[in-house]
Amino acid sequence: MGEFGNRVAVVTGGARGIGKAIVRLLHQNGCAVTVLDSDKQTGKVLEKEFDGCRFLAADISDFAQVQKAVRAVYEKNGRLDFLVNNAGITGDGLIVRMREEDWDRVLAVNLKGAYNCIHACLRYMLKCENAAIVSISSVVGETGNAGQANYAASKAGLIGLSRSVAKEVGGRGIRVNVVAPGFIHTEMTDDLSDEIRASYLARLPMKREGTVEEIAAVVSFLLSERSSYITGQVIGVNGGLYP
């Protein structure tokens, strides 16, 4: 049955990259996973690839859509144990040139989306024992990055949000933690030039990109009872990429 047999999870942005690796690992360990994502086509492929995995199309920046989707998850499964806030977008540009809509959209998806999901899920998670939330931030949320003020602000906001919620619900047995990846090999990094990739690798003590499976392994640990006394923490999975 696996470590997460009879447990139910919602994973946002789980149709590709880090999110898909998280879905795969939870599914392999017996968890009933529902993915909230806006990419319907990829979602259909995901359901075929992972038998029993459910896809619900939703814009997580929309409060009402998230409430409806999460309610559907609970009504189908009768419980909700885990939430992984993985969905995220970028809209890069120097701050003096950044359009207001790029700022608003990145914050709406990356930060408000996490709020929407936490707000919707908690009422059901409070009914379960050993429930847990993990949000995917970024090393950029800790260090900042030129040309990514909106993205860095949203990812830093996830840390403050998560630590605050951890204090609110810790007494009810719900753990809330953050994983902050560094330079991870995904479809997005495939588009980087050799020069930019080399510049990143030069800053890494481990001299290689991380893998989505390495991120998923840490998320799985933080959801599991093996991390039963860990909450309000930021776990950097970054190969030593610090200031």
pLDDT at 63: 98
Whole-prediction pTM value? 0.96
Sequence-distant (≥ 6) Cβ neighbours of residue 51 within 8 angstroms: none
Q: Is 200 a catalytic residue?
A: no
Instruction: Write out residues in the chain with pLDDT < 50, as ranges.
Output: none
Residues in the chain: 243
* Domains contained in the chain, CATH given: 8-237 (3.40.50.720)
pLDDT at 186: 87
Going by the DSSP 8-state scheme, the letter that residue 227 receives in this structure is G
**Cα–Cα–Cα angle for 184, 115, 140, rounded to 5 degrees:** 30
- Joined together, the tokens standing for residue 73 give 């998850």
* pLDDT tens digits, one per residue of 159-195: 999 999 999 999 999 999 999 999 999 887 777 778 8
How many Å is the Cα radius of gyration of the chain? Answer: 17
- Residue tagged active-site, from 124, 151, 229, 242: 151
pLDDT at 243: 63
pLDDT at 71: 98
First to last CA, the chain: 42
Going by the DSSP 8-state scheme, the letter that residue 234 receives in this structure is E
- Joined together, the tokens standing for residue 240 give 């030593």
